[in-house]
Structure 1
Amino acid sequence: MNTTTNAVRAGAWRGWVEFRQSLTNAQDLLGYFLMPAVFLVISFSVGGETIPGTQIPAGALIMAGAVGFLVFIAGGMTVAQILAMEREDGTLLRSKAVPQGMLGYFVGKTCYMLLMTTLGVAIIVVPPVLLIDGFAVQGVAGWFHLVWVCLLGLFATVPIGAAIGSLISNPRMIGLVMLPFMALAMASGIFFPITAMPGWVQTLVQVFPVYWLGLGARSALLPAEAAQVELAGSWQHLEIAGVLGLWGVVGFLVAPVLLRRMARRESGSRVAQARTRAMNRPY
């Protein structure tokens, strides 16, 4: 068995172990259930309101958008946070020190993110199907669209998170990065129909993957009549695949360059300095 194959197998196993450990960690478990709970509360708070021009409850629109938002945050923010933290605590340096260690490291993180996102989507989809009218996976085609949109969404957003994580030396800065992520999500129609936004905002957000993630999730989880309130009056599946695929291809060309540069700069002295700074920070 060559070192590359061994690194891939070891990385996949590591991803599974990290995911399994997250199921025994109270903080991680809270993270799995907190976002679905918040969106459920928001969905119930809109009461009997419906999507303009349809009889579909507004709560169903919010929960469908939440699925796209979850993938966007998992691929972008969570990956960036993990990289920044493991850069500081020396995990990245230890991976760099073994043959094909960086390959194994990123295979492991990919597997972990895939498992974590799958569980997160299941948690955010199953309870609302039972509790919110108008929210349901739309048959076999709906399941198909949900799966490929989530997978392609991770393909598009994980490089974004990796690039951000490679540029951040202090994990506490992630909170500042979260603000533009939230603003972009709100402007992209995650919480309400994007047609309520000004025209220039509608044009701008179509450049970013979060709009297309939300659109794809809504196509899988809302009745066909909900498409009439979208910008094109349809679900635009080809456009969703094209934009997300383009973000993924460009991201996987750019992110590895940034990550390799980050890895080359890592050393024992830099990790020790980072640990000292972390210990001296006020909490």
Structure 2
Amino acid sequence: MEVCSVIKSAIANGLQVHVVGGNVNQSEILGRTVSREYARRLATLGPDTLVVGLDGGDTLLAAGATPAEWHRRFSSFGADFVWSGENNMYPSFVDLPPRVKEKYPGQWPADWKAWEGDPPDKGRWKRPPYPYLNYGGWIARAGRALEVMHAAAAYVAPCAPANETLHPPGGCLAQHDQHAAQLALVDPVCMADPQDEAHCVIDVYASVFYSGHLHCEGLVPHADGSWSNTLSGNKPLVAHFNGGAKTACEHLGVKSYMYSRKTGWYHRVKLDRQTPIYVEGGPTPYGQLCPAEV
């Protein structure tokens, strides 16, 4: 299971691992209940605990993603909640209320935009490589994360009960957690004051989170377990094979290299089978949860 791979890479970095969402009723859709489940777990943690939230099935941690490094990277943002970024706006602005585009962090016209070319009228706009929120990764202290997840969960709550699709008919404020997060991003929970100074920011240069959709561009894994992103010049701590990256990164050989027992860095680290993984109902030994990975 790929979820066991990200668990293993987290343990190998000395991180405490919580698995969230395992108790979601089969009549519900996980894509509409993640914020709610995050909030439930965050409420059990100390408010100052630094927490990293990741999609379980398509992410992996680099070597060196230790607690100390997470604290260092988080402090460099100067914000109290950091979302992963990606190059695809989903849902699109046309499917969201106008206020989202008007207030979106870094959305043009805004401070990220600069002319390329001389004279300006023959140039084109530059932009950061990952300007849009991706729900599959975030970092914040537990108390602050709880506020953001409560805000997102409130948007998606009317759609959380059983439905056959992530896109139910009208009547929903947000159809899924990604949709809800885009709305919360421009709400008071994420905006500091009327000048729209952000409490919440997006990792637009992938200094922590790499999102590979659509073509897995820029991701270079190294033998020591670190990764480079040639698009941003950074060395992210998380690789997220979201959307089209699941196939694209596989075709490029990147994903196989990072997961292989021969070349995946975390397979070289000897782990204690009894390391507790905090799932619903209490801790479960790593060796019991992921016997094939031991």
> Per the shorter chain, which TM-score range?
under 0.3
Relative contact order higher in (CA < 8 Å, ≥ 6 apart): 1
TM-score normalized by the length of structure 2: 0.25
TM-score normalized by the length of structure 1: 0.26
